[in-house]
Amino acid sequence: MPKAVNLAVLLSGSGRSLQNLLDRIAAGRLDAQVRLVVSSRGDAYGLERARAAGIPTALVESRRFRNFLKMSDAVTLEIERQPVDLIVLAGFMCFYRIPDPFLGRTMNIHPALIPAFSGKGFYGHFVHEAVLRAGCKVTGCTVHFVDNEYDHGPIILQRTAPVLDDDTPDTLAARVFEQECEAYPEAIQLFAEDRLRIEGSRVRVLPKRTP
Ligand code: GAR
Across the range 43-50, mean pLDDT stands at: 98
Specify the pLDDT at position 139: 98
What separation in Å is there between the alpha carbon of 1 and the centre of ligand 1?
30
- Answer for the pair 167, 182: CB distance below 8 angstroms, yes or no: no
Categorize the per-residue pLDDT at 209 as very low, low, confident or very high, splitting at 50, 70 and 90. Answer: confident
Give every CB contact of residue 109 below 8 A, 6+ residues apart in sequence: 17, 89, 90, 141, 142, 143, 180, 183, 184
How far apart, in whole angstroms, are the C-alpha atoms of residue 110 and residue 60? Answer: 22
Q: Does residue 2 carry a pLDDT above 80?
A: no
Calpha distance 206→196 (Å, rounded): 6
Ligand 1 centre and the CA of 110: distance in Å?
Answer: 7
Q: What is the mean pLDDT of residues 99-126?
A: 95
What number is the average pLDDT over the span 128-136?
A: 98
Mean pLDDT confidence for 202-207: 98
Q: How far is the CA of 95 from the centre of ligand 1 (A)?
A: 14
- Percent of the chain residues topping a pLDDT of 90: 92
Structural domains present in the chain: 1-102 (3.40.50.170), 108-205 (3.40.50.170)
pLDDT single digits (tens) 158-197: 999 999 999 999 999 999 999 999 999 999 999 999 999 9
For the cut 90, the answer to whether the pLDDT of residue 96 exceeds it is: yes
Over residues 92-118, the mean pLDDT reads 96
Task: Report which ligand 1 atom has the smallest distance to the Cα of 124.
Answer: 12
pLDDT band at 83 (very low <50, low <70, confident <90, very high): very high
Q: pLDDT at position 144, please?
A: 98
Residue 31's pLDDT is: 98
Higher-pLDDT residue of 124 and 16 is 16
99 pLDDT above the threshold of 90 = yes
User: Is residue 177 in contact with ligand 1, taking CB distance under 6 Å?
Assistant: yes
Positions marked catalytic: 110
The atom of ligand 1 lying closest to the CA of 13 is 17
For ligand 1, mutation pick of 49, 110, 131, 149 (most atoms within 8 Å of CB): 110
Q: Rounded to the nearest whole angstrom, what is the distance from the C-alpha of residue 139 to the centroid of ligand 1?
A: 15
Is residue 159 a contact partner of residue 114, using CB atoms and an 8 Å limit? no
Instruction: Summarize the confidence of residues 16-43 as an average pLDDT.
Output: 98
**Is the distance from the beta carbon of residue 45 to the nearest atom of ligand 1 less than 6 Å?**
no
17 lines ligand 1 (CB under 6 A): yes
What's the chain's average pLDDT? 96
Nearest residue (by CA) to ligand 1, atom 10, is 91
Output the CA–CA distances (angstroms, integers) from residue 84 to 6, 150, 163, in the order listed. 5, 22, 37
